[in-house]
């Protein structure tokens, strides 16, 4: 039985240990999710992150062995919480993962009570992460959506896009484009799986998350040694999301 304690995120002094833990997990899991102290700092400083409630650290003998974070949507948006968690490979299978899932459930029940709504707790898993699939299923999660990852070789040039007459391709201007983006998104996604209407606040928050994702993608690309030599590849992530319905207490 290991000695285990949990505590909230303590600020920038924790960033180095968190990055070291996540990268140690990446060596084993090979999910192409390398990170850095600066990446984590940018992510945790996003206004949408409640650092006191939505991040929990797991320690044994003063050593960080686990990290869990839940993404809670802004009030008025969809009520799905997304749980992301990692455990040091040397400590997996000792019940820490189940405790992380229980923490995620508790946090989303708090959201349900605060907002007076039903909520869902979601998580991601790759198709070959058999232990994690079994873990989620044993804790009451069911698969409800699947994704493909597609890669294209960079050894050949990418052709210029052929757009219909009157269309242009440009970068987003950020907040000035928010209202137009919201209207377009709501109309085009209205028959999409798990659709919920967004507002401008949600669009701006989405842009912030997208910027964080792009920074991580650049870091991932700089660490990948096979980026310029891989062929086109399609990889099924099954299930990519697992969901558990949580009602109000």
Residues 211-236 pLDDT 10s: 554 554 455 444 443 333 333 333 33
Domain containing residue 132: CATH number:
3.40.630.30
- Give the pLDDT of residue 123: 93
- Give the pLDDT of residue 151: 86
The verdict on residue 200 lying in a domain is no
The verdict on residue 101 lying in a domain is yes
8 A C-beta contact, residue 96 and residue 6: no
Strand 119-123 and strand 142-151: pairing?
Answer: unpaired
- Give the pLDDT of residue 232: 38
- Give the pLDDT of residue 48: 82
The verdict on residue 217 lying in a domain is no
The verdict on residue 241 lying in a domain is yes
User: How many structural domains are present in the chain?
Assistant: 1
Distances (CA, A) of 93 to 97, 163, 214: 7, 52, 33
The verdict on residue 38 lying in a domain is yes
Please provide the size of the chain in residues.
249
Owning domain of residue 240:
5-163+234-246
Instruction: State CA 7 to chain mean position distance.
Output: 21
- Positive/negative CA dihedral, 44, 48, 204, 125: positive
DSSP state string for 21-52: HHHHHHHHH--S----HHHHHHHHTSTT--TT
**What average pLDDT values come out for the chain (249 residues) when binned by 10 residues?**
91 97 96 92 89 97 96 77 95 95 95 91 91 94 86 88 90 83 86 75 60 51 38 38 55
Cβ contacts of residue 42 below 8 Å, gap of 6+?
A: 212, 215
- Give the pLDDT of residue 212: 53
The verdict on residue 128 lying in a domain is yes
């Amino acid at each position: 039985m290991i000695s285990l304690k949990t505590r909230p995120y303590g600020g920038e002094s924790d960033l180095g240990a968190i990055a070291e833990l996540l990268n140690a997990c990446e060596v084993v899991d090979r999910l192409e999710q390398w990170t850095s102290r600066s990446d984590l700092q940018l992510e945790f400083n996003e206004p949408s992150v409640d650092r006191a409630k939505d991040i929990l650290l797991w320690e044994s003998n003063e050593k960080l062995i686990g990290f869990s974070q839940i993404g809670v949507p802004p009030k008025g948006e969809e009520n799905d919480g997304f749980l992301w968690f990692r455990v040091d490979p040397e400590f997996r299978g000792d019940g820490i993962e189940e405790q992380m899932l229980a923490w995620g459930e508790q946090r989303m029940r708090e959201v349900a009570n605060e907002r007076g709504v039903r909520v869902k707790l979601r998580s991601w898993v790759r198709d070959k992460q058999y232990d994690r699939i079994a873990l989620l299923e044993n804790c009451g999660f069911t698969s409800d959506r699947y994704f493909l990852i597609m890669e294209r070789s960079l050894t050949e040039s990418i052709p210029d896009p052929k757009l219909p007459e009157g269309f242009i391709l440009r970068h987003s201007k950020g907040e000035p484009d928010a209202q137009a983006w919201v209207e377009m998104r709501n109309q085009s996604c209205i028959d999409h799986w798990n659709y919920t209407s967004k507002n401008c606040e949600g669009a701006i928050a989405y842009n912030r998350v997208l910027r964080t994702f792009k920074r991580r993608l650049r870091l991932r690309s700089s660490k990948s040694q096979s980026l310029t030599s891989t062929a086109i590849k399609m990889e099924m992530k099954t299930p990519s999301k697992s969901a558990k319905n949580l009602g109000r207490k």
